[in-house]
Amino acid sequence: MRPRPLSIENPEYARYVSLVPDGDIEEILNNQRTKTISLLSNVSEESAMKAYAPGKWTLKEVIGHMADVERVMSYRILAIARNESAPLPAMDQDQYVSAANFNKLSWEQLLSGLDTVRSNTLSLISTINEEAWERNGIVMNKPVSLSTFAYGIAGHELHHLKIISDKYL
């Protein structure tokens, strides 16, 4: 079993990691994948185009954002696992969403993309040995452990699923 991060320097990551239940992170990520796609598969194209308030993202944009964040965190996992010594870039979530064309994609495309990203994340994590699991990288001028990103992916999804359940569905 992959251990949880022992300490988290960045409060944003700590917020997400704290949402993840105890258990094997690969199993948690795989189970999440099934539950999330199942939950969202009954959403209509029309409903997916709605935001819950003015100035908020549409549900399509939320799903696109979730996939983008997982891509970024997975890249960070890859870089740290492969001994990257250069600092890793930050991510401006609003810039990413505004530069994407999520609302022009079909709901099916977005869900398929989210599922594919998770599949790729799980494949990547399976390649990481115990020594690499304990490594740190530098993001926003602070050390961050590889495990923080793995648990952060799960926690970020849990964070957004709560918002989706409370405000979109």
- SS3 at position 169: coil
pTM: 0.95
Average pLDDT over residues 72-76: 98
Is residue 5 within 8 A of residue 17, CB to CB? The reply is: yes
Task: Quick: pLDDT tens for 9-64.
Answer: 778 889 999 999 999 999 999 999 999 999 999 999 999 999 999 999 999 999 99
Question: How far apart (Å, rounded) are the C-alpha atoms in residues 11 and 62?
Answer: 22
Calculate what percentage of the chain has a pLDDT beyond 70: 100
What are residue 136's DSSP bridge partners? 145
Domains for the chain: give ranges and CATH numbers: 11-41+59-168 (1.20.120.450)
Q: What's the mean per-residue pLDDT of the chain?
A: 95
Joined tokens for residue 103: 């609302």
